């Protein structure tokens, strides 16, 4: 992958190559970091880049830092401002992905959360599809169980917790599947490796509760709003058995990376008709209009990069290339 030109690190924008960490960095050794994944969409008519629900992502990001007992001086507004500034510096005019990261940055040995310095970084780069399966993905139910709130809280987007997703993803791909769904410790469906799971059964849309070992997805919230307000679908959050997925009329994944991907097979069983279903297709249409800023009702979810006010922008110190 092509590397970004710049990076935000602890309040400054640096050339990417100069934003480095040492080998003893605590988070690199112990997984004591947390992150966000945000998309920005290029709107060709407006010739502007629109960050989708940046503030909501940063609210969850700061919640994750609190779970890790990090002491940081950044507000949501400051993080959004720094993100807009970084995107302007990168000058991207295409769909892209932003990766904010907060990490215990002291170079020291000793497993703990307390009494350690934390850093915040951000990078942005062009990004296409994460899971290229618009025609429908084939998933497996992983033999790995999802981490639980009393193991590594999945409610926080904690770097160390992603080893759990990585085990499941690699085993799924090695076995010929596109991705995996993990069951929680009670044997109920939690989520896929980087996305929330929805299914449609008897006309009702169902997704696991936020207490069923899932990340509180921003796309999940977007989907719930659009299902209720735009599609008028009956909707419920409740625990889901594996076999309900097998019997579903439709299933789909929702996340910033995957966006909305239909699930048409699970462990070689066909879901519904075996094609993306009508609810999933209608939802995808309204979702992609919303993220591109084309629905006035949801325009407040989008933050324009190039026409944003300079007041928000002039907050980070920009460090020019050390040439
Ligand atoms: N679950 C997991 C484990 C994830 O990594 C993600 C991606 N952030 C999601 C769900 C979806 O969350 P969001 O819609 O906020 O990207």
pLDDT in tens, 244-289: 999 999 999 999 999 999 999 999 999 999 999 999 999 999 999 9
Smallest CA separation from ligand 1 atom 11, residue: 255
Q: How confident is the model at residue 316 (pLDDT cuts 50, 70, 90)?
A: low
Tell whether the model's pLDDT for residue 312 goes beyond 70: no
Query: What pLDDT score was predicted for residue 308?
Result: 75
**Percentage above 90 pLDDT, the chain:** 94
Task: Tell me, yes or no, if 157 is annotated catalytic.
Answer: yes
Query: What pLDDT score was predicted for residue 318?
Result: 47
For 257-275, b/e burial (b = at least 16 CB within 10 A) is bbbbbbbbbbeeeebbeee
What is the token pair recorded at 47?
């010739």
The residue from 12, 157, 228, 297 that is catalytic is 157
Ligand 1 contacts CB of residue 215 (under 6 A): yes
Query: What pLDDT score was predicted for residue 181?
Result: 98
Query: What pLDDT score was predicted for residue 310?
Result: 52
Beta bridge partners of 316: none
CATH topology assigned to domain 6-128+303-312? D-amino Acid Aminotransferase; Chain A, domain 1 (3.30.470)
Average pLDDT, the chain: 95
pLDDT in tens, 120-138: 999 999 999 999 999 999 9
Q: How confident is the model at residue 2 (pLDDT cuts 50, 70, 90)?
A: confident
Tell me the pTM. 0.95
pLDDT in tens, 57-98: 999 999 999 999 998 999 999 999 999 999 999 999 999 999
Q: Phi/psi at 239 (nearest 5 deg)?
A: -65, 145
Smallest CA separation from ligand 1 atom 16, residue: 256
What is the token pair recorded at 280?
């999933």
Query: What pLDDT score was predicted for residue 319?
Result: 46
Tell whether the model's pLDDT for residue 323 goes beyond 60: no
The CATH architecture annotation of domain 137-276 reads Alpha-Beta Barrel (3.20)
Phi-psi region of 296 (alpha: psi -120 to 50; beta: other; left: phi over 0): alpha
State the closest ligand 1 atom to the C-alpha of 220, by its place in the atom list counted from 1.
14
Rounded Cα distance between 11 and 203, Å, is 49
Query: What pLDDT score was predicted for residue 251?
Result: 98
Q: Strand 189-192 vs strand 179-183: parallel, antiparallel, or unpaired?
A: antiparallel
Query: What pLDDT score was predicted for residue 244?
Result: 98
Average pLDDT value for residue range 27-49: 98
Ligand 1 contacts CB of residue 262 (under 6 A): no
Rounded Cα distance between 38 and 41, Å, is 10
Average pLDDT value for residue range 298-313: 81
Query: What pLDDT score was predicted for residue 311?
Result: 42
Tell whether the model's pLDDT for residue 321 goes beyond 90: no
Instruction: Give the start-to-end residue ranges of the domains of the chain.
Output: 6-128+303-312, 137-276
Ligand 1 contacts CB of residue 196 (under 6 A): yes
194 Cα: distance to centroid of ligand 1 (angstroms):
5
277 Cα: distance to centroid of ligand 1 (angstroms):
22
């Amino acid at each position: 992958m092509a590397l970004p030109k710049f990076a935000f690190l602890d309040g400054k924008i640096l050339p990417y190559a100069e934003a480095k960490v040492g080998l003893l960095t605590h988070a690199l050794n112990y997984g004591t970091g947390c992150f966000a994944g945000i998309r920005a969409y290029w709107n060709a008519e407006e010739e502007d880049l629109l960050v989708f629900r940046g503030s909501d992502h940063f609210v969850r990001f700061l919640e994750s830092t609190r779970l890790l007992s990090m002491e940081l001086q950044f507000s949501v507004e400051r993080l959004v401002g720094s993100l807009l500034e970084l995107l302007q510096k990168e000058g991207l005019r295409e769909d892209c992905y932003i990766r904010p990261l907060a990490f215990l940055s002291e170079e020291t040995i000793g497993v703990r959360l307390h009494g350690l310095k934390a850093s915040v970084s951000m990078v942005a780069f062009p990004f296409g599809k994460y899971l290229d399966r618009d025609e429908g993905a084939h998933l497996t139910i992983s033999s790995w169980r999802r981490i639980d709130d009393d193991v590594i809280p999945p409610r926080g987007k904690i770097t160390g917790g992603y080893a759990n997703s990585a085990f499941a993803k690699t085993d799924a791909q090695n076995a010929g599947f596109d991705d995996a769904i993990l069951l929680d410790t009670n044997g109920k469906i939690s989520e896929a490796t980087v996305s929330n799971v929805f299914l449609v059964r008897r006309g009702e849309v169902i997704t696991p509760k936020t207490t069923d070992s899932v990340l509180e997805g921003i796309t999940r919230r977007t989907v719930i709003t659009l299902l209720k307000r735009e599609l008028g679908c009956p909707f419920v959050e409740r625990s889901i058995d594996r076999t309900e997925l097998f019997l579903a009329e439709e299933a789909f994944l929702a996340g910033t990376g995957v966006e909305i991907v239909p699930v048409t097979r699970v462990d070689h069983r066909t879901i519904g008709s075996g094609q993306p279903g009508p609810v999933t297709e209608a939802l995808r249409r309204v979702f992609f209009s919303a993220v591109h800023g084309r629905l006035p009702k949801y325009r407040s979810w989008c933050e324009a990069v190039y026409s944003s006010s300079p007041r928000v922008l002039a907050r980070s110190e920009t460090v020019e290339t050390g040439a």
